[in-house]
Structure formats: structure tokens, C-alpha cells
Structure 1
Amino acid sequence: MTGFTLDDLARIVAQRADASTAEKSYTRSLVEAGPARCAKKLGEEGVEAALATASGTKVELVAEAADVLYHLLVALRVREVDLVEVMAELERRTVQSGHAEKASRER
């Protein structure tokens, strides 16, 4: 087990988003391109992860899952959503079963 966490990745994304120029940082280039570009990249990576889940290898799925997590954190950054907010929502949802939580949203 590594000691690397989503919080660590979020900090790296924040640092790179604040890089001096987009030429020096892919993350900065995504942030500068705005929410629509970040959404497109997140969608592309999500589809690739889904395809790897359906018919790819374990190695492919690991790589695509890493891409999804990275692009999700960039999307959160560009929309000024802190990872803590997402984690709080997940914590709130896990106090009950998944079926009960989903039913509570279906109104």
C-alpha cells in the first residue's frame, strides 16, 4: 500500500493549476481552457475507464481509473469545489445502505 492519497493528488493539482504558464503545466492548460474543456476530458476518460472495465486488462483499468481521478480533481478545481466537500457528501451517503440512499434522492 502506498501512502499516496486523493488529498495528495488534490494538492498537486492545485499547485500545477497555479503554475506560471500553461506551457509548463498540462493541468494549468486545462484550467485555463475552462469548465467545458475539463468536462470533455473527464467524459473521455470516463468512457475509456468504462471500456477498460468491460473488456480491458487490469493494467488498462488501473491506468484509466488514475486518469479519471486526476481529471475529476481538475474539474473540481476549475469549478472551485474542494475535495473536502465531495468527501463530506460521500460520508453523508454512507451512513445508510446504498439502496436507501438512492431511494431518498428519487422524488
Structure 2
Amino acid sequence: MTLVFINIIQILQKGDLITHQRIHTGEKSYQCRQCDKAFSQKGDLLKHQRTHTGEKPYQCRQCDKAFSQKGEYIIHQKTHTGEKPYQCSQCNKAFSRNSNLINHQRRHKGETILMQPK
């Protein structure tokens, strides 16, 4: 007997089930025509295509800075609210992004931080 554990998600249509199963099978049916990168979800392909088009649909109302990804826009909003939920346990310095905290903590350990070009 084979036991199958199903994620607790609501699958309303057969197409939704097939799309969900791609997460587990690794099948990537959606391919970018410009760079051949492939994705299992159509939405991920659409987000990726913005890297080629330069489209930035998420615009900050306070400073007019625009973003291609919703997550980056949400993180940016913290710069206006002053919210810094990520705090260093060694020196209590706080950061708006977890990645900045991780880089900061590496400095405590004496690690060299390589900055990625923007």
C-alpha cells in the first residue's frame, strides 16, 4: 500500500491540481522566450518576464519609486514607516530587511561581505 500525503489546499478544478502537482514533480511547462528559463507556474513566468521588459507595476505613493515585484514593494514600505523588525542579538541594531541583518551578523563573525551589483 502506498500512502499519499496531500497538502491542505483547496483545488477547485482539474487544471489547479495539475498546476499544483508540478511543484512536486519539478515539471516546468512555462518557458521564457527571451532567455529559456523555465517555470512550473505561469505567474512565476509572468513575474520573471518583467526582468526583460522593465515593467514595474508596484509604485510607492510616498516617493514614486517603482518595483517589478510585490514583495520588494512591501519591503520598501518599511523605509517610510521606520519599521525594523529584524534585530541583532549581539548589539541590538535593527534592520528593515532580514538579509541586511544576516549580512550584519556576518560582520560580527569577521566574514567578508560581497555586495551584489544593482
Q: Assess same fold via TM > 0.5.
A: no
Instruction: Output the TM-score relative to the length of structure 1.
Output: 0.30
Higher strand share: 2
TM-score w.r.t. structure 2 length? 0.28
Higher helix share: 1
